[in-house]
Amino acid sequence: MIKAHKIRLHPTSEQVNYFARAAGTARFTFKWALAEWQRQYEAGGKPNAKALKKQFNAIRKEQFPWTYEVTKCAVEGAFMDVAAAFKNFFEGQQAGLSQIQEQETLTAVFLSGLAAPS
């Protein structure tokens, strides 16, 4: 049995802005990781989340400094999500490779173990 707690938030406008930036950063990182995973896989490599995260962190400060404005969990979670998507695909639990959803269809954001933004 899977148990969950749903909590309705009533964020301030500053918090809404922060959550939107965190979700956008997670989305950007997921897209980057997905494209890089597919590129490496098509080149005959065996990509993994840890190696992709290390590769992203090597270029992050120079190419994507704005990703430091939000929690590190937004970035880290994207690599775990891409790895899980490919694992599910190769184990036959998913019909096709991961696709990028249209932004309008995304309504939920998952953040774990975070303190309120300052």
Q: Tens of pLDDT along the chain (118 residues)?
A: 778 888 888 889 999 999 999 999 999 999 999 999 889 989 998 888 899 999 999 999 999 999 999 999 989 888 998 888 888 877 776 555 555 555 554 445 555 555 555 4
CA torsion, points 54, 48, 1, 4, in degrees to nearest 10?
30
Question: Is residue 27 in some structural domain?
Answer: yes
Question: Is residue 104 in some structural domain?
Answer: no
Question: Is residue 81 in some structural domain?
Answer: yes
Confidence (pTM): 0.73
Phi and psi torsions of 116, nearest 5°? -65, 145
Domain range for 30 is 14-95
Question: Is residue 84 in some structural domain?
Answer: yes
Q: In this structure, how many other beta carbons lie within 10 angstroms of the beta carbon of residue 14?
A: 9
Total of domains in the chain = 1
Q: Which burial class, exposed, middle or buried, applies to 43 when counting CB atoms under 10 A from its CB (0-12, 13-18, 19+)?
A: exposed
Question: Is residue 88 in some structural domain?
Answer: yes
Give residue 63's pLDDT.
96
Question: Is residue 113 in some structural domain?
Answer: no
Question: Is residue 5 in some structural domain?
Answer: no
Give residue 99's pLDDT.
56
Whether 26 and 75 have beta carbons less than 8 Å apart is answered as: yes
Give residue 111's pLDDT.
52
Whether 29 and 78 have beta carbons less than 8 Å apart is answered as: yes
Give residue 106's pLDDT.
47
Question: Is residue 116 in some structural domain?
Answer: no
Residue-wise burial string across 89-102, b where 16 or more C-beta atoms lie within 10 A, e elsewhere: eeeeeeeeebeeee
